[in-house]
Structure 1
């Protein structure tokens, strides 16, 4: 019997284009909302067909992609995500007919439209988006960075803890020639092997414990790239105690250093390994002897501290170790701390700095500022934590000129503030103001509303996107649309961008071209002959409208259609709009001044503490 597809409340919210709070309210307000058919009280599951019928009856009919529907049905039929994906992959390869008869035509129809490779990739993305998988899968942008640092293009690559093959896929994207992977979870190696086969990649994936039962004992590769298992307590310390460890037998509490030596042992001379490590490996006392031996023999080239959120566990600032198969020692290593940067900026910095450090060309002063002589590290602790070094050098080397420049900019910002205060007069006599709602303006055609933008579907695009954080922090657009946006909305000067998912309604007038609207944002596009954009933004964010927009659901989500605007002539709109524009500039100037003051305070304290500057 065919089991019907089930969805969570989060899935329903995504299908209907609303927040989860809206789904919760629907369940409370509507007696005919579909009853849960499984799950738990905290995380109920609903029948997908019943949900679609209910949404259609309420005028909220979703457009469910064929891939989404097939994936949900596969999950319902198999009961296990990895099995669902594997069954589809084996059918696409012709290895085994899909065992779910009713779903076979759906899968074949998708293949007819998209081809087997694209169909499998679409199903893979849905598998990887499941909460249980997000907690263990290496994010694509981090995997791409790791294979770039390893120089994987055109060479052979091994991942001794490959899981479902995320790093191997990144190596394939980078143009690796031969791929080898091993993992002790047969469900995951089955998926990794299927991906290689469907995509026509040369590679071998084996099941087994790489440390205890190496599937490739005689294979030497150009690069080893891996997101290692963290904190193993039973990694084979007893069985492998007499193994020929090149840098010394790892203590029981140092499994990561066992993996690091395993990676180096598989490298050809001059080959490079890039491993994702927990930060404690750089400083634990039990591993200091092995770290010292790696330093002395030139095996350890760089340790990079990444910002929190790079990969699970997301709250921990993980490290990347860059190792090499060396036949002689080196004079210095690179210790780079990017923990204070956002991920995108950190990845760009890491790629540039490590490439310059390991390359044969001239290095920049910035690269040199993050190198440390090996002799300086060979002390009692052999602490390789990047944050423990460069405390008084790199950040304050040019403190004097930087303080002068910051002081000049602070003075200029402060001088601009009085001129931005708008001229106003008492209008208390005019107490009756006729209003119109944003919803009325939408119905009359004076205003368009577009969005919100979501991810996970749609075409892949390139360009700069305006994000929720950009809007909240008042900064220029900083996001990249290197993933899929749905829908793809290009911004125009005069558009009003609104975030309705924060604790307060935030809006601003867009003044730039060649930008895309980011996720979780709405766009209001006024008719410039009828509605001034600055007038609209100013009234959107008044205290009264914050309450009106937020009162529908009683949560932190807003319904911008409930916002009320004064009915007024265009000339008066422009006069008020000019006031709101000046107030916006004043707010941004105050924000800039506060940031400069904080920078001056921090830089002065650091420079005084390091002895770079002294009081006069």
Structure 2
């Protein structure tokens, strides 16, 4: 949602934007400032605050409105200048390498060292980059560089997730768990570009030593540079941790780890390893190896926080035996089941393991938390693990080690949750709401069904193929072209693939920077995909980039063709006979046939077709509401909730 000064409701993220601070800062205010406004609406996991109360509180605490908000416009200007310089590098180096160049050049600036070109880059480009970086105030340099890294990481998709990325929700989660460390050692065995380690320091961690290991040399160099820019002393080593333990004697007070998911163990990695005292993991997955590596490096009172794929919680065989041994040894404090989409490159839900030696031999229970339905668990997990009042707001269960180890040592939180208590008032409200939704959709469907009529047309119209329409100058067509890696960041957020066309949902570009690019669509362009079947829609807003199998068709002669009718006609069933291909049927776009009646008739046809589709949507709405209504009534029966005013209501028809 957007902050609404003077009125409305604000989520914690909106408050952070309003004050120009991080979300972690807002979380700290809520915990530590007794006069901070109480939630005015929302739920325990999704609180909403009165905008006017928040503004009054910020006015009473001017020190909380950080300088960051004051220099916001300047920061945007610096970032814009850096993006301008980035154009000098595009096409000459990868996005990964560009990030490394930016960080290293910034380090050169603050250390007053010369900057040299590498990665096939011209020295003049590096010199120009250095000039821009030198104009950025020293206290803001690290943040500006991070914003550039965050923006470039979005264009890398899955490959960015392998080494971490600025703005990562999972890194924020791990950092929040380590933020209370005072003294001792903080360790990340797969630190990537150092996001979680450095964010932990930013959130308040003050360890005596910070250790990071990373297999990827480029990522490690970025982590080293980011630490220097923040004045953080990072003990960093490039190492393949699973193949060879780089520091067997290391013992850390807090270990945070987000190792690569689904990582296979190389056959050269020895299984005769002192770290593997709980069992030999399968070579098909490194999850169990990482858990044991973390345990091996915990200090006597240390705690480890490890993110794994959910499969490590329930897979059988060797991994089940390792779970059992960890449980019997008293090493598992807690497991948190997280929701999907915590990482932008995968919808797979994650699991957080909390491991530690504290009273290990006497631990008889394990805390299991089911956060699969919590929108932003990264803001809450630290509280759940330390505050029983906060824990009460999320589904959880303490299960005995004896019970957990009796079977396959399945640690999936949802597997152990009791039937959730049902709010009678909420069930009644849901019943009334869904009943009203069903009645409204059904009534509207009846009205529109009676009104739908076939449009009047005069005779058989001429039928032209797309190729003939192009030749006649009525339309232009263009297929999607692969984006250069260097352009991907600038065009991020604008891309439209076949799935978006099928859903008829295009990303909004109204909040994105205005750019000029020949790949962009114009308002009124038709977007079409012709794999399996034909789907077409009009891009009303423009400013998008077709990718993959999506074609752009632009009406040139508006006296002959209406774009909305064209989108309807392109998807006509008669064109399906043109499909070819056994595995993935494709319809040749140039051969698609379009009947071309008069412009007036086209618009009448589009109106009638739109009304029929509206009837279809209303029927779907009514069906969904009916399904929900049925489910609500069954829930009421299960929990003994009466939804009738009298016992016989509903039987009298």
Could you tell me the TM-score, scaled by structure 1's length? 0.59
Residue 383, structure 1, aligned to residue 410, structure 2: yes
2:491–2:545 contact (8 Å) kept in structure 1:
no
How far the C-alpha of 1:192 sits from its partner, in A, is 1.0
Spell out the pairing of 1:103-118 with structure 2 (5 A cutoff): 108=126, 111=129
Cα distance, 1:170 vs. partner? 5.6
1:583 corresponds, among 609, 612, 631, to 612
Number of the residue aligned with 1:12: none
Offset, 1:105: 5.2
CA distance in 2, matches of 1:237, 1:483: 52
> Which SS does the other structure have where 1:535 is aligned?
helix
User: What do you get for the CA RMSD once the two structures are aligned?
Assistant: 6.2
Structure 2 equivalent of residue 70 of structure 1? 92
Provide the residue aligned with 2:311 in structure 1: 279
SS at match of 2:598: coil
Alignment pair present for 1:158 and 2:187? yes
1:124-165 Cα offsets, whole Å, 9 max, x none, are 99999899x849825648944233343167978532134xx2
In structure 1, how many angstroms separate the alpha carbons of the residues matched to 2:104 and 2:359? Answer: 45
Change (3 A) 1:327 1:464: farther
Gaps of 5+ in 2: 1-85, 135-141, 643-649
Partner of 2:453: 424
Q: 1:258 to 1:444 in 2, by over 3 A?
A: closer
Cα distance change on mapping 1:239 and 1:577 into 2, 3 Å: closer
Alignment partner, residue 320 of structure 1? 352
Contact 2:291 2:306 in 1 (8 A): no
Aligned position for 1:333: 367
Note if contact 2:526-2:536 (Cα within 8 Å) is conserved in structure 1.
Answer: yes
1:324 is displaced (CA, Å) by: 6.5
1:240 aligns with 2:274: yes
TM-score w.r.t. length of structure 2: 0.57
In 1, the alpha carbon distance for the partners of 2:118 and 2:557 equals 58
User: Does 1:537 find its partner at 2:571?
Assistant: no
| Per-residue deviation, 1:384 | 1.1
CA distance in 2, matches of 1:501, 1:140: 35
Given that 2:298 and 2:356 are in contact with CA atoms closer than 8 Å, whether structure 1 keeps it comes out as: no
Instruction: After superposition, give the CA deviation of every residue in 1:174-215 in whole Å (9 maximum; x if it has no partner).
Output: 7477853214x4xx2464135523773532321446476453
- Contact kept, 8 Å, 2:116 with 2:126, in 1: the verdict is no
1:227 aligns with 2:249: no
Contact 1:90–1:98 (Cα < 8 Å) also in 2 = no
How far apart are the structure 2 equivalents of 1:109 and 1:549?
55
1:273-313 Cα shifts (integer Å, max 9, x gaps): 2422451344643134444358x6773252336469976xx
Equivalent of residue 260 in structure 1, options 273, 291, 296: 291
Matched with 2:172 is 147
Deviations 1:297-350 (A, max 9, x none): 773252336469976xx7976533345786797987343364xxxxxxx89443
Residue 303 (str. 1) matches residue 337 (str. 2)? yes
CA–CA separation in structure 2 for the residues paired with 1:541 and 1:355: 52
Counterparts of 2:512 and 2:324 in 1: how far apart (Å)?
A: 43
**Aligned equivalents of 1:104, 1:396: Cα separation in 2:** 66
- Consecutive unaligned residues in structure 1, runs of 5 or more: 1-63, 75-80, 244-248, 339-345
Aligned partner of 2:621 among 588, 592, 597: 592
What pairs with 1:12-161 in structure 2 (closer than 5 Å)? 67-71=89-93, 108=126, 111=129, 134=159, 137-138=162-163, 140=165, 143-151=168-176, 158-161=187-190
Shift of 1:585: 1.1
**Residues 384-399 of structure 1 aligned to structure 2 (within 5 Å):** 384-390=411-417, 392-393=419-420
Deviation at 1:223, TM superposition (A): 5.4
